[in-house]
Amino acid sequence: MNFKQWCRLDEMLYVCQTDEECKQYAGLGHDEGLIVRLAEMKRQNSKTYLDFFPNQDEALFLGAVEDIAYSKTKTLELEIHRLRNTDIVSAKHEFNGVPVNWSTWRQFNSHEKEDSKRQEVFDEFIEKTQKISPIVESRFSLINQTYVEYSNMAESNLEYSLTPVTAYMANENFKHDSLIEFVKSLGEKAKVPFRKTLLDRSNELLNRHPEYYDDFYFFRNRIYSGIEGAFASLDPVDEAKRTLKSMNFDLSNIQFDTENRKGKYPSPICFFVEIPSDIRVLYKSESPYFDFQGCLHETGHAIHATSIDGSRSYSDKYRISMGIAEIFSMFVERLSRNPSYLKSLRPRVKNDIQIDQIIAKNNFMDLFFITFYTANTLMKIEYWEKSLTIDRASDLYSRLIREYLGIDMPGEYWLLHHILPEAIMYVPSYLVAAVRAFELERYIMAKFGETWWKEKEAGAELRNIMNPGAKLDLAIFSRLDTIGYLKELGAAA
What per-residue confidence (pLDDT) applies to 154? 85
Low-confidence ranges of the chain (pLDDT < 50): none
What per-residue confidence (pLDDT) applies to 102? 96
CA pair distance 214, 226, nearest whole angstrom? 18
DSSP 281: E
DSSP H helices, 73-174, are 74-86, 105-111, 115-127, 133-149, 151-157, 164-172
What per-residue confidence (pLDDT) applies to 329? 98
415, 421 Cβ separation under 8 angstroms = yes
Q: Summarize pLDDT for 227-252 with one digit per residue, the tens.
A: 888 888 899 999 999 999 999 999 99
What per-residue confidence (pLDDT) applies to 286? 87
Residues across the chain:
493
| Cis amide bond preceding 54, omega within 30 | no
What per-residue confidence (pLDDT) applies to 304? 99
CA distances 185 to 188, 374, 382, 404, Å, are 5, 9, 17, 11
Q: Summarize pLDDT for 49-60 with one digit per residue, the tens.
A: 999 999 999 999
DSSP 91: E
Q: What torsion do the CA atoms of 359, 328, 220, 416 make, to the nearest 10 degrees?
A: -160
SS3 174: coil
What per-residue confidence (pLDDT) applies to 493? 55
Domains along the sequence of the chain with CATH: 3-172 (no CATH), 176-488 (1.10.1370.30)
What per-residue confidence (pLDDT) applies to 86? 96
